[in-house]
Structure 1
Amino acid sequence: MQSPTENQPPPEQQPSFYQRVLSLLDQRVFRFLYSARVRRTVLQSLPFWIASLLTGIAAVAYERVFVWAEETSFTWLRAQPLLAFLLTPLAFLVAWILVRQLAPAARGSGIPQVMAAIELSTPVNHRRAGWLLSMRVAIVKVLSSVVLLLGGGVIGREGPTIQVSAAIFRAINRLQPVGWPQLSRQIALITGGAAGLAAAFNTPLGGIVFVVEELTQTHITHFRTAVFTAVIIAGLTAQGMLGPYLYLGYPNVVMSGGMVWLGVGTVAVVCGLAGALFAKSLLWINQFRKEFRTLEAQAGWVLGCGLLMGGLAYWIGNDAVGTGKPIINRLLFQSTYHTPWYLAAVRWVGMALSYSSGAAGGIFATSLSVGSIMGDGIARLIRIPATDHNLIVLVSMVSFLTGVVRSPFTAAILVLEMTDRHSVIFQLLLGGLLAQGAASLVDPESFYEHLKAGFLSESMARQPTTKATIPTGD
């Protein structure tokens, strides 16, 4: 008979205390990873990760096409300015026809459509959200905005990117197989909006703040993990393809005190009021446009907008068309450059003509450009020292955008992340808050809230899309 110790390994081969502890930990980690709760969480998150990756790719592709379209419009306008009277009205008409015939919900910015779809994402009305956020709408959105920009439209791609992103998230959410653990439709759309903004501007914090401030009234604890991971994945995908770029680079910003505080307060109030008045003017024009009921009258309106825009492009040149980003860069990085006194009004009119044409196009980037021009003019008018010029321009960008969309924290964080100027975050936040107060005197509701109500009414008036054969979570 063998002794009890004969089957035991020699002492030098026996596992050490640390090896036994690691083995025990490995077993516990293995059981944890394969627990039902973790497995469900991973399965819930996987579609969101896929949608976030696709959003990052789509945002980069859209950005590159958008840049190409803007540079092409600059090229033909410099070479043959007279073509503006032909190409610009033609582009306005084609961009409008694409939207009218293929996807009416693709018109305009895209953010009000996402807000309306989130509100419709209930068990009773969720199929109506398909009219606002189908993949067909997303494709038409991109095509229409690119055509409009090619012809000299004054539009941005940030709002459209948010609608495209939400459409991607909605599509992935609906494609999940039966029995797959799912997050709610609302969370899918909210997360898509955050991922879209983060990828469009390379501003992850801005995407998160935008969700909390603009897209939903739901407490963030209900969807914070989904939003954070989507923003990270979409942002990293965009960075991996474009590099860790800043939308506006690294402008030199100082805060010398004294007179500059007067400048901050002045531009915040003036630009906040101007942004609110601009939004009010867009609402009035859109309401007036509804008087044109026949197809011929509507086409005439669009051609008229394009012809007026072509006139601005011919007489003013490249500064009258496009996103306005080159103007902002010149103001921030060329100390001797100043904009003409009339350029803010020209850009204002160009934005109104482009938006009211009924084609696709956003107002985020273009609002920033108008704000920067106004800030430059006010800084010179009240004789702000040259060393503080960039700070005033940044505050004016935050303030005008706040006046339009009524999201002061989103505007401040966006401009902060676009420039990486953390030293002036308090000035940017103060500008946003003052602008919010001034804009509320013009209209207590934001531009997007007004438009959301219209899209909700249109969606409810339409027959819902065919009932989905694949159930989705609520």
Structure 2
Amino acid sequence: MSETKISKLFTELNQLKWSVVSKGVIVGLFAGFVVALYRLGIEFATEKSIEIYEFLKHNQEYIIVWIVVIVVVGLLIAWLIKCSPESKGSGIPQVEGVVLMGMKMRSFFIIPVRFIAGILSAFFGVSLGREGPSIQIGACGGDIIASKLSHNKLEENYLITAGASAGLAAAFNAPLSGIIFALEEIHRSFSPNILLAATTAALTADVVSKTIFGLKPVLSYVDIPALPLSQYGWLLLLGILTGVVGALVNKFVLVSSKVYDVLPAWSRPMVALLLALPFGLFLPQVLGGGQNLVQLSETAQMTVGVLFVVFIAKLFFTTSSFGSGIPGGIFMPILSMGAIVGSIFAQTLSGFGIPASSIAILCICSMAGVMAGSVKAPITSILLMAEMTGSLVHLLPVAAVAFIALLTSDLLGIHPIYEVLLERLVDKDHVNKKHDNIVLEIVVEMGSDVAGKKVSEVNWPTGTLIAGIRRGQKEYVPNGDFIIYHGDYLIVLSSEHELETMNTCLNKLCRKN
């Protein structure tokens, strides 16, 4: 490339940050409103499912009619998934595929399918959350806005990430968690432009969400006293336990998916809805995402024996629902299982000095631990708990459990659940790749293969063109002798047919192994 073209590229990148701020507000408004509607629909349908099962329990002659309804709706959901396979499951792996691998996302199909299939499924009480789909709906909003207002492929990528951030912010009333989730899980790297886009979109979406739902956190906790220092020793054991549970969740999800793969695609949603029937009749506490289970766990309204049964049921119900491919996420079910584990832990060890007043805080710590062990996004887990409780008083014990759980999960050889699901998605080729030229912006991490080396010393993937390097506020056009330091941002031009391979190889080179 000529110096003039490179200079123009840097100028466009510098102007990009103000562009993504203004467009991030529009993305936040769109995502916040659409996700709020989706959230209202899911909450209404879940409440109705409890009423339906209560009616069926006392009027068993109608169960046959309900089974017929299950068959019809199951076939309809299967048809919707066939029409829009990108709408299957959580939606988070699909968003990661778009951002990291240049896959195609048919946003105008995904949003209506998410609404129809997701809300229909919720009427049967399936154990799925709204957060994953909300993230994809938000990302679709970013994609739609970008297609209308942006002609820069890098900016489109940022706005999709911003939409995902706005989706989580609106689903949980948790803007900080949405911002960090976009960096930690969706984009998997830090960039000032991504941060600006995600922040403006998430804060805007949060304003929309709070206007509709009020200022009250999604999970309303009672007043929680700080954990006494004398109890901190138990955090090590709780961290190990939640790390194991997070690993167990991942294993069950993958096994369930493989079992469903044996069945014809048209029958999978139907089977999942049929499996929901006995749970709705005999254990309605496990219906839906599990927000009610969090509240029951932290107030110790169930004994250890009952909690254990509920945990096993929730684990099986969640994995059987999610493995079918029904549009819905596992974010909230994972948190609810974490709360149950925390309550079991606290009540079991009450004879060893854990007071009843500590049950709630240990539930919060356990929620962060199970999520960190499964999703492998500890910072998001910690911030989410802070925003749910509305206090930073519990930050230290929550962080301790989250990182111990992460370490435990790593030692068990568990990979992040969304990363594994993305690999399965790519293997099945359910999502088409884009065929556009794109600029990649990749940060160099400390300890990576690239840090501290000259450009000429790096074994770059074939076709790599390092157009520039940004270091702080300065920009450089590197030659072979230019030394790359950690913290540098590589500006790379990718050809259309090498995008996925190049992005994967560059991330391996620039990240610490």
Distance 1:281 1:49, change over 3 A: same
Deviations for 1:323-360, whole angstroms, at most 9, x for unmatched residues? 1111212333x455546130000011110111012211
Report which of the two has the higher share of strand.
Answer: 2
> Aligned residue for 2:313?
346
> Aligned residue for 1:243?
214
In 1: Cα distance, 2:63 partner to 2:412 partner: 35
> Aligned residue for 2:364?
394
Match of 2:420 among 430, 442, 450: 450
1:130-149 to structure 2, matched below 5 A, reads 130-131=105-106, 134-149=107-122
> Aligned residue for 1:49?
25
The answer to whether residue 349 in structure 2 is matched with residue 382 in structure 1 is yes
Deviations for 1:435-457, whole angstroms, at most 9, x for unmatched residues? 10111133342111111122234
Deviations for 1:368-408, whole angstroms, at most 9, x for unmatched residues? 11111111111111112101111111111111111221111
The answer to whether residue 293 in structure 2 is matched with residue 327 in structure 1 is yes
The answer to whether residue 142 in structure 2 is matched with residue 176 in structure 1 is no
> Aligned residue for 1:69?
45
In 2: Cα distance, 1:281 partner to 1:266 partner: 23
1:393-472 to structure 2, matched below 5 A, reads 393-459=363-429
> Aligned residue for 2:445?
none
In 1: Cα distance, 2:387 partner to 2:16 partner: 35
> Unpaired segments of 5 or more residues in structure 2?
1-11, 441-513
The answer to whether residue 81 in structure 2 is matched with residue 100 in structure 1 is yes
Whether the aligned pair in 1 keeps the contact of 2:114 and 2:133 (CA below 8 Å) is yes
Which structure would you say has the larger RCO, counting Cα contacts within 8 Å and 6 or more residues apart? Answer: 1
Structure 2 residue matching 1:246: 3-state secondary structure: coil
In 2: Cα distance, 1:439 partner to 1:268 partner: 10
- The AA in structure 1 aligned to 2:234 is G
- The AA in structure 2 aligned to 1:114 is V
> Unpaired segments of 5 or more residues in structure 1?
1-35, 122-127
The answer to whether residue 338 in structure 2 is matched with residue 363 in structure 1 is no
In 2: Cα distance, 1:304 partner to 1:217 partner: 35
- The AA in structure 2 aligned to 1:173 is A
> Aligned residue for 1:109?
90
1:108-127 to structure 2, matched below 5 A, reads 108-121=89-102
In 2: Cα distance, 1:417 partner to 1:327 partner: 19
> Aligned residue for 1:229?
200
In 2: Cα distance, 1:164 partner to 1:120 partner: 19
Whether the aligned pair in 2 keeps the contact of 1:56 and 1:238 (CA below 8 Å) is yes
TM-score using structure 2 length: 0.75
> Aligned residue for 1:254?
225
**Count of residues in Structure 1 that have an aligned counterpart in Structure 2:** 419
The alpha-carbon deviation at position 362 of structure 1 amounts to 0.6
> Aligned residue for 1:8?
none
Larger radius of gyration between Structure 1 and Structure 2? 1
RMSD: 2.8
The alpha-carbon deviation at position 462 of structure 1 amounts to 6.3
In 1: Cα distance, 2:291 partner to 2:33 partner: 22
Deviations for 1:52-76, whole angstroms, at most 9, x for unmatched residues? 1011111211111111001100111
The alpha-carbon deviation at position 307 of structure 1 amounts to 2.6
Match of 2:250 among 276, 279, 290: 279
The alpha-carbon deviation at position 419 of structure 1 amounts to 1.2
Structure 2 residue matching 1:451: 3-state secondary structure: helix
**Identical-residue share of aligned pairs (%):** 22
- The AA in structure 1 aligned to 2:127 is V
Moved more, 87-96 or 204-213: 87-96
The alpha-carbon deviation at position 421 of structure 1 amounts to 2.7
In 2: Cα distance, 1:268 partner to 1:230 partner: 33
In 2: Cα distance, 1:342 partner to 1:320 partner: 11
Structure 2 residue matching 1:129: 3-state secondary structure: coil
> Aligned residue for 1:11?
none
Whether the aligned pair in 1 keeps the contact of 2:91 and 2:132 (CA below 8 Å) is yes
- The AA in structure 1 aligned to 2:83 is L
Whether the aligned pair in 2 keeps the contact of 1:331 and 1:338 (CA below 8 Å) is no
Whether the aligned pair in 2 keeps the contact of 1:166 and 1:192 (CA below 8 Å) is yes
Whether the aligned pair in 1 keeps the contact of 2:291 and 2:336 (CA below 8 Å) is yes
Match of 1:217 among 185, 188, 200: 188
- The AA in structure 1 aligned to 2:91 is G
Whether the aligned pair in 1 keeps the contact of 2:339 and 2:363 (CA below 8 Å) is yes
Structure 2 residue matching 1:136: 3-state secondary structure: helix
Structure 2 residue matching 1:331: 3-state secondary structure: helix
Distance 1:281 1:327, change over 3 A: closer
> Aligned residue for 1:195?
166
In 2: Cα distance, 1:259 partner to 1:463 partner: 55
Distance 1:95 1:401, change over 3 A: farther
In 2: Cα distance, 1:267 partner to 1:256 partner: 14
Whether the aligned pair in 2 keeps the contact of 1:40 and 1:181 (CA below 8 Å) is no
> Aligned residue for 1:155?
128
- The AA in structure 2 aligned to 1:140 is V
Deviations for 1:68-105, whole angstroms, at most 9, x for unmatched residues? 00110011111222466735844771464144332111
The alpha-carbon deviation at position 226 of structure 1 amounts to 1.5
Distance 1:40 1:203, change over 3 A: closer
Whether the aligned pair in 2 keeps the contact of 1:250 and 1:421 (CA below 8 Å) is no
> Aligned residue for 1:289?
260
Distance 1:442 1:90, change over 3 A: farther
The alpha-carbon deviation at position 175 of structure 1 amounts to 1.4
